[in-house]
Amino acid sequence: MGLRMQARVAFVSGGGSGIGAATAIRLAQEGATVVICGRRREPLDAVVAQIVAAGGRADAVQADVGDEAQYVAAIEAQTSTSDWRLNFTTSVDGTFWGTRTAMQLMQASGGSIINLSSICGTLGTAWMAGYSAAKAAIINFSRAAAAEGAAAGIRVNVVVPAVVETPATAAMLSDLATRKATEKLIPMGRVGQPVDIANAILFLASDEARYITGAALPVDGGRSAVLV
């Protein structure tokens, strides 16, 4: 079977570490030319070097997805609602700018856009109202974009992970008791790995998912299927 992403260009936001890096590597392994972006140059360059060393094609663009001028005016949230706004600036605004730009570029040729949400966007999470609301917004925004883009052959889907072992969760998961308690809530008995998410993104980007759009795909070891 041929490479699923041969002769395609993939743009991966947050590609310097965690899920983004794993996704960039998997897409490159399947033949895509990958462009990754993120705030810090060194991790981006390291991922590009890893892809190139394996025979792939990749480049890096340094950009802050929470800053519209860099991503496609500095945005500062210094009010009493700063945490709330930060969640929407980073998650929702960045997703909107990226999706809007990609859809403009894909009008003639079609394409696939995969946005990343969280189980917190489908289940209420105490003390995480801003994060949960932002992740829920990504899901319904993506559904609307899917409806708008379908006639042009543009598919828009969302991957919805639960806890994934990344630098962002390292401190939490390093505590053995916390890790065991987290894993106990997951039917498959373990937290996700970045490659688990990357494989789902690869599937949605490929022609194997050509009739799938507007979907929010849980990749969570069954976490969203059970009540606590």
| pLDDT tens for each residue of the chain, 228 residues long | 457 888 788 999 889 999 999 999 999 999 888 999 888 889 999 999 899 888 888 888 887 766 666 665 322 333 335 667 778 888 899 999 999 999 999 999 999 999 999 999 998 876 678 889 999 999 999 999 999 999 999 999 999 999 999 988 888 888 888 899 999 999 999 999 999 999 999 999 999 999 999 999 999 999 999 987
Catalytic residue of the set 131, 197, 205, 217: 131
Domains of the chain, by residue range, sit at 79-194+215-225
- The reported pLDDT for the residue numbered 78 is 35
DSSP 151-209: GGTEEEEEEEE-SB-SGGGHHHHHSHHHHHHHHHTSTTSS-B-HHHHHHHHHHHHSGGG
**This prediction's pTM:** 0.76
Q: How far is CA 94 from the centre of its chain?
A: 11
Give residues with Cβ within 8 angstroms of 212, minimum separation 6. 155, 157, 204
Residue at 147: amino acid letter: A
What is the CATH number assigned to the segment(s) 79-194+215-225?
3.40.50.720
Which pLDDT value is given to residue 1?
44
Is 211 considered catalytic here?
Answer: no
